[in-house]
Amino acid sequence: MADDLETFIKALPKAELHVHLEGCLTPQLAETLAKRNGMPLPDSVKKASTAEGFAFHDLTSFLAVYYPAMEVLQTAEDFADLAMDYLTKAHEQNVRYVELFFDPQAHTSRGVPFPTVVNGYRNGLLQAQRELGISAGLIMCFLRDMSVEFAMATLMDALPYKDVIIGVGLDSDERGNPPRKFAKVFGRARQEGFLLTMHCDIDQQDSVKHIRQAVHDIGVDRIDHGTNIVEDAELVELVRQKAIGLTCCPVSNSVVTSDFKGKEILQLLRQGVRVTLNSDDPAYFRGYVNENIFKVAWETDVTRKELVQFQRNAFAVSWLSSWRRDRYLEELDVYAKEKGAC
Ligand code: HPA
Ligand code: ZN
């Protein structure tokens, strides 16, 4: 029985909407890039191959490992290889479409030019589309623990790249960095035609307050994580009515908090909120999208029909054009019908 469900999940056509490109940097790829660039492997990566493994237990300690590892990313080819590495794995898991976060400020702040980053990622996306048939777009995240001025300058850098950057997001350390801090930047991004999302991480000091700000003050199209919304019934109803997607990441939750929040994610799904299942930083949390779905499948009473609904939500709240979205939804419906899961 368990094997049947595993097969069902593996073959399910999927969309992934919450995955950080820099979070796809495996220790193996980091080693290859370090060698190619003639530089030592960063200490935080060296630790990954020891018995101790990566050392983090919450968002702050994770970020302290995550940013130093990125130093191995130097050339456009490095960024292209990183994108291709992840998209190859996603393709193997029957992911059809991905919206990928990237953190340009983590690179420009150490001297890598903005065009090197975006042209590199774009090349990786084009190669994956050509060779594997998997489609993807980029979401540029501002680092919320950096200044508003730096975020605005980064937005200006992005304007010539609207062909591949489809939206903007907000990530990094949430403590003391509320959505409202970036209202002006997100307002300008909206004017420029970018779609809007932002992280409201799990169990933060002001999680619900931040979700409220994201919805009311920023007018986001989606929220990344956002699971703490279950604490406020009115806000849940508003998000449901507005059809705002929540991109949840069970395996990531289980690493940076004491719980994977499966119960809350399923509760939201059953209340009609457009929740989706995603991997966040798969190279660090050791779970791509299938492993995230397995976790929910093994550890909750989710049904097959609901597993299909998570994917229906993902395509529905994706930023695809309506005709492309409908094509993927049709494929999903055919699969669900064939497996008696609708
Ligand atoms: N939260 C905030 N910042 C991040 C994350 C996350 O889950 N992953 C990578 N940067
Ligand atoms: Zn994230």
pLDDT of residue 99: 99
State residue 56's pLDDT score.
83
pLDDT tens sequence across 66-87: 999 999 999 999 999 999 999 9
Q: Is 20 annotated as a binding residue?
A: yes
280 assigned to a ligand binding site: yes
What's the chain's average pLDDT? 96
Q: Which residues contact 293 (CB under 8 A, 6 or more apart)?
A: 9, 12, 277, 307, 310
Could you tell me the distance, in angstroms and rounded to a whole number, from the CA of residue 172 to the centre of ligand 1? 5
pLDDT reading at 150 higher than 50: yes
CA of 20 to the centre of ligand 2 (A): 6
201 annotated ligand-binding residue = no
Assess contact for 236 and 230: CB atoms under 8 A.
yes
**CA of residue 258 to ligand 2 center, whole Å:** 17
Q: Which of 143, 145, 171 to mutate to test the pocket of ligand 1 (most atoms within 8 A of CB)?
A: 171
* H/E run at residue 114: helix 114-132
Q: Say if ligand 1 is within 6 A of residue 22 CB.
A: no
Ligand 2 centroid–CA 71 distance in Å is: 19
Convert the pLDDT of each residue in 175-223 to its tens digit.
Answer: 999 999 999 999 999 999 999 999 999 999 999 999 999 999 999 999 9
Nearest-atom index, ligand 1, CA of 103: 10
- Mean local confidence (pLDDT), 30-38: 97
Instruction: Please check the confidence at residue 338 and state whether its pLDDT lies above 60.
Output: yes
Tell whether ligand 1 has an atom less than 6 A from the beta carbon of residue 169. no
Nearest to 83 by CA among 65, 98, 96: 98
57 annotated as a binding-site residue: no
Res. 53 pLDDT band, cuts 50 70 90: confident
Q: Looking at the chain, which runs of residues are DSSP E strands? A: 14-20, 95-102, 135-143, 165-171, 195-196, 199-200, 222-225, 245-248, 274-277
Residue 263 has pLDDT above 60, yes or no: yes
Which tokens in the block code for residue 310?
Answer: 């998570």
- Kindly state if the Cβ of 18 falls inside 6 Å of ligand 1: no
| CA nearest ligand 1 atom 7, residue | 280
Mean pLDDT over 159-187 rounds to 98
* Residue 287, pLDDT above cutoff 80: yes
Mean pLDDT of 34-39: 97
Distance 1 CA to ligand 2 centre (A): 32
Which atom of ligand 1 lies nearest, measured to the CA of 22?
A: 9
Sheet of 199-200, strands arranged across: 199-200, 222-225, 245-248, 274-277
Nearest CA to ligand 1 atom 10: 172
Using DSSP's 3-state secondary structure scheme, residue 14 falls into strand
What does the alpha-carbon distance between residue 270 and residue 268 come to, in Å, rounded to a whole number?
A: 5
CA-wise closest residue to 318 among 95, 22, 91: 95
At a CB cut-off of 8 Å and minimum separation 6, what does 256 contact?
Answer: 56, 57, 58, 59, 62, 201, 202
pLDDT on residue 110: 97
Say if residues 37 and 75 touch (Cβ distance below 8 Å): yes
How many other C-beta atoms can be found within 10 angstroms of the C-beta atom of residue 163?
Answer: 9
Distance of CA 1 to the CA centre of its chain: 31
Q: Average the pLDDT over each of 25-34, 58-67, 96-105, 329-338 and give the range with the smallest value.
A: 58-67
User: Mean pLDDT lowest for which of 6-20, 45-59, 163-177?
Assistant: 45-59
Q: Is the CB of 228 under 6 A from ligand 1?
A: no
Asked whether the predicted pLDDT for residue 55 surpasses 80, the reply is no
Confidence of residue 141 (pLDDT cuts 50, 70, 90): very high
Write down the pLDDT at residue 3: 58
| Local confidence band at 1 (pLDDT 50, 70, 90 cut-offs) | very low
Ligand 1 atom nearest residue 249's Cα: 7
The secondary structure of the chain in percent helix, strand, coil, rounded to multiples of 5, reads 60, 15, 25
Banded pLDDT at 115 (limits 50, 70, 90): very high
Contact 197, 167 (CB under 8 A): yes
Confidence of residue 47 (pLDDT cuts 50, 70, 90): confident
Is there an atom of ligand 1 within 6 Å of 199 CB? yes
Please list, in sequence order, all residues whose beta carbon lies within 8 angstroms of the beta carbon of residue 276, skipping any fewer than 6 positions away.
15, 17, 18, 245, 246, 247, 248, 310, 311, 313, 314, 317
**Closest among 201, 221, 179 to 318, alpha carbons compared:** 221
CA of 338 to the centre of ligand 2 (A): 33
pLDDT of the residue at 238: 98
In order of start, what are the domains of the chain with their CATH numbers? 2-25+73-338 (3.20.20.140), 26-72 (no CATH)
* Mean per-residue pLDDT, 231-237: 98
